[in-house]
Amino acid sequence: MENQLEMLLKNPYFSMVAYFSVAVLALIFFLYCFELLTKYRCWDEIKQGNLAVAMATGGKIFGICNIFRSSIQEARNIYESLTWATFGFVLLIIAYFLFEFLTPVFHIDEEIGKDNRAVGFIAMMISISLSFIIGAGLS
């Protein structure tokens, strides 16, 4: 069975669909994990027009996908790619907690939940920027 999968993954079209499918499913799972960690409900807030939440969530989506991009480029197979992407996601979560910890003047989640766009923008840029650092570490 594993040999058949490896043969299929040598086909560039099948390989692309496989990596795409795994990345999308993992993105959904990782966003769900972020949803559990925040004090606000991302999709409810976005539905209500909270731009700060939209920016922070968009940054998370970009960051996760950028980490996946790097893991796909550097890994030898789809399993290794998923492993590295998961490790990168854990680092992104750690960075999220560090951001909250290193700003004792206010609480990031509360400010984003109140549509503080400056905080939402900084949260977005941190996710995006750190995803490039994490991705570079994979190479």
Question: Cβ neighbours of residue 99 under 8 Å, at least 6 residues apart?
Answer: 108, 123, 126
> Each residue of 30-71: pLDDT tens digit?
999 989 988 889 999 999 999 999 999 999 999 999 999 999
Handedness of CA 18, 20, 23, 28 (dihedral sign): negative
| Domain range summary for the chain, segments of one domain joined by + | 2-138
pTM over 0.85: yes
Look up residue 8 and give its amino acid. L
DSSP summary character for residue 39: S
CA gap 78, 90 in Å, rounded: 18
Of 41, 5, 34, 47, nearest in space to 99 by CA: 34
pLDDT digits (tens, 9 = 90+) for 82-132: 999 999 999 999 998 898 888 878 889 899 999 999 999 999 999 999 999
